[in-house]
A = this chain, B = another copy of it.
Amino acid sequence: MANLTAKTVVILGAGFAGISLAKELSRLTKNNWTFSIHVINQENYFVFQPMLPEVVSCAIEPSHILNPIRHLCPNVQVHQATISEIDLETRQVTMVGTDSRRPRQLHYDHLVLSLGLTMNLTAVPGMAEHALPLKTLGDAFHLRNHVLSRLEEADSEPDPELRKTILTFVTIGGGFSGVETMAALNDMVKTVLPFYPRAQATGTRMILVHSRESILNELEPDLAKFAQQKLMERGVECRLRTTVQEITHNDVRLSTGEQLSARTVICTVGNAPHPLMAQLALPQDRGRILVEATMQVKDMPNVWALGDAALVPDVSRGGWCPPTAQYAMRQGRQGARNILAAINGHPLQKFHFKGLGQMAVIGRHCGVAQIGGWKISGLLAWVLWRGVYLMKLPGLPCKVRVAIDWIMELVFPRDITKVELQRTEQLKHAHFQKGEVIIREGEIGDRFYIIESGEVEIVHQEPGQPEQQLALRSTGDSFGELALLKDAPRAATVRCLTPVDVIIFNRKDFLTLVDSYSLFRHHMDAEATAVAEFQKNHTANIHVGVETCTPRAGER
């Protein structure tokens, strides 16, 4: 029997699709010790995205819509890590955890691609630098604090013109996410404004920019129209058939030529496939993986793709399944059953789902819903939204906490604490003892170092030979650039001759500086040339520090 052999299923990404597949598979294989299920995700929690706008508007506390993956899927091995490579030939996934110098590898029998979509803000000049996305919990938290900061700033600002700029909030995108965010923000700002007397005297301005004829164009036209009217009644200006051309710290330039002075630009458009997908030799359409209706990748019986990362044929209505949570969750459950069927040699089932309908909240006590043939708007749709999403929110603790938040909101003023958790200092420092090794030969190079004080030696050892001192570096010098510039493992070891204090630049920042700053680039070019000779003779003997992480079936 096939299920007597140990089987490893590796799930990449813990969104709606990945989590529901992991839960279902773990339920179906409970007490089956030959099964080992792994989830690799960048965070150790699942975030309930539909409630992000309410986090922005301070109605729900950020942590209440999070669920630790280890709580949701108790029989699953969770790896909080970034996936750096997928090798479909050798069936291995390479991931990088906290210690980025030592990537780990995981072998799989079945691979599930459920990494969802990411945001790409590079299409419009200034968008990546100044627009605030709303995709992750970090985004929501940052946006919430950004808005509260603007209220604090406006309340202290003597110049009334500047106060207007500070109190103008622009949202790009009139889809579900954009409309719900703009509406929630509008409510929140109006509610807390009495605590900011000077800001209140100036008043706020909310503008929604949308490229289409009407907002919420996934809904029936009359519902969409109702939503738009409600938004406008509540003071939100809508700019339709309009796109954004350029964003700076102070301004938003629109395709109509209009220039809006604003310090807050929220971006809810610009979905892009996960960058890893493009690197895979799999059938895909603009980064989304093409799969059979069984969610199996064509001609790849052990690779599965689902959720927003995949184009799953919509058996009931033709075309592709829409990228929504209700589809992703059901794809996850069906995917789990199909993986098990594939392992056991049983026939696979096609994914079949008609969709339940769609709902949106248009601010306090108002919503729109389209369920089956029914169309609902106003208070009833809002109550329905809260009921349905509270039910969908996974984990009883989360349900209780969100319900309490909603009750607290009725009784107490909204929380306006602005918790700034970012450190003002951007540079990272570290201290090393005398004799301690800062860089070890063969490691992956992920940092560049500047010596604030102390002295280090750079040494190299050929197998069977005594260690050889190559150079000394002391206060004011730098080291570690070579591996970053060449994208190669460390060619030598750096050891402290005294206690040493350093400034650390991470790989990405270092490469940005080399790219952008001519002073820096010229210096690095010179350094690289000087050591190139040495590297030529020695690279053959350098080993990359990759470890293999064997499945731990027995530990489950």
* Interface, chain A (partner B; CB < 8 A): 43-45, 61-63, 66-68, 70-71, 74, 78-81, 97-99, 104, 125-126, 128-130, 137-138, 141-142, 148-149, 152-153, 155-156, 158, 195-198, 246-251, 253, 396-397, 400-401, 404, 408, 412-413, 415-433, 436, 450-452, 475-478, 499, 501, 503, 505-506, 508-509, 512-513, 515-521, 523, 547, 549, 552, 555
Contacts and interface: CB of A to CB of B under 8 A. Distances in A.
A249 to B, nearest CB: 6
B424 A421 contact: no
B417 A63 contact: yes
Contacts of A517: 450, 476, 478, 503
Contact of A80 (B66, B128, B152, B450): B152
Contact of A412 (B149, B253, B396): B396
B80 A44 contact: no
A87 B510 CA distance: 42
A131 B142 CA distance: 26
Contacts of A401: 408
A422 B425 contact: no
A254 B396 CA distance: 46
Contacts of A197: 555
Contacts of A506: 424-426
A68 B412 CA distance: 12
A523 B513 contact: no
Contacts of A419: 43, 45, 62-63, 66, 137-138, 141
B499 A70 contact: no
9 contacts: A44-B417, A63-B415, A130-B430, A197-B555, A248-B431, A426-B505, A450-B516, A475-B516, A519-B519
Contacts of A251: 433, 436
Contacts of A429: 128-129
Q: Which has the most chain B C-beta neighbours within 10 Å: A79, A426, A452?
A: A426
Given A80-B418, A424-B508, A97 B152 contact: yes
Nearest to A433: B248
A505 B198 CA distance: 32
Contacts of A195: 68, 70-71, 74
A141 B358 CA distance: 37
A43 B418 contact: yes
A408 B400 contact: yes
A513 B509 contact: no
A93 B358 CA distance: 55
Contacts of A516: 450-452, 475-476, 503
Contacts of A552: 198
A128 B501 CA distance: 11
B452 A248 contact: no
Contacts of A158: 104, 547, 549
Contacts of A125: 431, 499, 501
Nearest to A512: B427
A253 B433 contact: yes
Contacts of A129: 429-431, 501
Nearest to A428: B426
B499 A246 contact: yes
A66 B417 contact: yes
Given A138-B423, A477-B518, 6 more contacts: A68-B416, A129-B431, A130-B431, A156-B549, A247-B431, A400-B412
A49 to B, nearest CB: 15
B422 A422 contact: yes
A474 to B, nearest CB: 10
Nearest to A159: B547
A423 B422 contact: yes
A204 B468 CA distance: 39
Contacts of A70: 195-196, 416
A378 B250 CA distance: 58
A339 B460 CA distance: 70
Given A98-B152, A426-B428, A431-B129, A420 B43 contact: yes
A249 B523 contact: no
Nearest to A71: B413
Contacts of A152: 44, 80, 97-98
A9 to B, nearest CB: 18
A341 B253 CA distance: 57
A38 to B, nearest CB: 11
A397 B415 contact: yes
Contacts of A43: 417-420
Q: Which has the most chain B C-beta neighbours within 10 Å: A68, A148, A436, A515?
A: A68
